[in-house]
Amino acid sequence: MTGKRKSSSRNPKTVKCSKLQTNSMKKSAINEEEKVQLDFLVVEKIALLTKLKFAPDICQELVSLSFAKALRSFYSKKKVTLSFSVSFSENLDDYGECPDILLSIGGLSQQSEEEIKFDEENFEKLNEAVQQILTRFRQIHLKIPMYVNNIDNEDFASIVSEAVNDVRDVTIETLDITFEYPVLVDCHRLIKKLSRNLKVLNLCIYDPTDQYEESWKKFWQTVGSCTKLEKLSVKFDYTLMAGEDPGHETDNALLVQIANGVKRLKIKNFRTNLQEGEEDERTMEWLPRAFAKNEHLRHLDIDTYFESGCYLGDLVSVKDGPLVLSRLESLKIKIGDGTECRKDWEASFKKVLPAMSDQAVLKITVSSFCKEDTRGLLRMYLELSHQTARRIKLRLLFSKDNMNFGAVLKKALSGLSSMKKFRGLKTVPDGAWTRLLFGNADLMVEAKRSKSGI
């Protein structure tokens, strides 16, 4: 049932709809046809919505063919997140039956994600569901998790690959994938199929070993073929291996494969925690070799997992190091601050900061530090900013159970201001940040609780 504006009667169960503007409507204006704006729309008993277990917006396609077309024109402009996860029942044997698979769709509305559950009996319908989503939404952020027991991301990657084959004009711009070598081939095939439109690729790898050199070579060649890629994250999960082999380091042969793949890209943003070298001699000095010819790189994000030392290395002395650093708008480094290695970081930053442009900013996130030494940490970075005349943003991550982190920072700032060396120090509130101005220094500092239990 529909009505025009002059309708005086209103059903209390009516649903007001916003003006639908589609390409066909815009074209009709050219022909000077009369436009009718819906003032209300009543929808009743649409195929037992509660049993469809799908997003309400998609259910509304069943109103009529023309209404479905209008909705789908809206879908094509909307970015959604499609992710896979697993759900265990309380009585499920960890090594027995398969867990339920949850297919989640986020971004349809401001509400929580829509979820579709697939148990072992209807698992084969998962492929059909993915196809239905791909036919509607053209801009998708795809998340494929690590394998869990009898379900792994080989299945997920294969399902998406098959769905992509059956759907035309799908544009998956962002892909997050976590994997081990056994599913490398399927992940490789998926990335190859998406390479034409992929803009963001986030890879988390659990077994960085070069014993499958040929397969890795093909994988990174495919990554290097993603011509539209703007942002790439390559991280190895050292936590899994550290428990079994504390002396584990990334195989240098594998790093060569990664560097060769990265060299072909024109990415603007790169994030990594990959280190080369042996135990106690690891560095990030492979980065300048990989990005020497990339004039587009503007943001470099480095995670240093190990807290026992500074693994940045001497980037300035490496060939092409100063060139790569001079192009950056931001260098972001996440470290676990042990006071015993603070001097090493300070010495490294004294070389790195002058190599960066005047407009660039060094972003430091420090976790697992001693809160009693907050003032000493602030002093170190304030002096670095003053001596190098470069901007620094310092984020201090306090432990999850620390409720008075704001008071700790306030006390540290007060103690810093009272020091004769920093007489004239100005502290200026800037949202959640506090700006410290002294001489040539421009230091921004923020304190917050970590989301993880550090």
Distance CA 72, CA 135 (A): 9
255: pLDDT strictly greater than 70? yes
Q: Provide the phi-psi class of 80: left if phi over 0, else alpha when psi is between -120 and 50, else beta.
A: beta
Q: Percentage of the chain with pLDDT > 90?
A: 29
User: Lowest-pLDDT range, 26-35, 107-116, 235-244, 293-302?
Assistant: 26-35
Give the pLDDT score at 56. Answer: 53
Distance CA 406, CA 386 (A): 25
Whole-angstrom CA distances from 203 to 29, 108, 290, 386 are: 47, 25, 17, 37
Both tokens of 22, joined, read 């589609």
pTM recorded for the entire structure: 0.77
Q: Backbone phi, then psi, for 130, in 5-degree steps?
A: -65, -40
- Mean pLDDT, residues 398-419: 86
- Mean pLDDT, residues 394-398: 89
pLDDT per position as a tens digit, 226-236:
999 999 999 88
The DSSP secondary-structure symbol of 147 reads -
Give the pLDDT score at 66. Answer: 73
Both tokens of 30, joined, read 């050219």
Q: Which stretches within 252-367 are classed as H helix?
A: 252-263, 286-291, 321-327, 342-355
Residue 324: CB atoms within 10 Å: 22
Dihedral over Cα of 58, 63, 64, 70: its sign: negative
Instruction: Write b or e for each residue in 92-107: b if 16 or more Cβ atoms lie within 10 A of its Cβ, otherwise e.
Output: eeeeeebbbbebbbbb
Q: Write the CB contacts of 155 (distance below 8 Å, at least 6 apart in sequence).
A: none
Which of 11-20, 89-98, 279-288, 328-337 holds the top average pLDDT? 328-337
> For the chain, how long is the longest CA-to-CA vector?
80
Give the pLDDT score at 140. Answer: 80
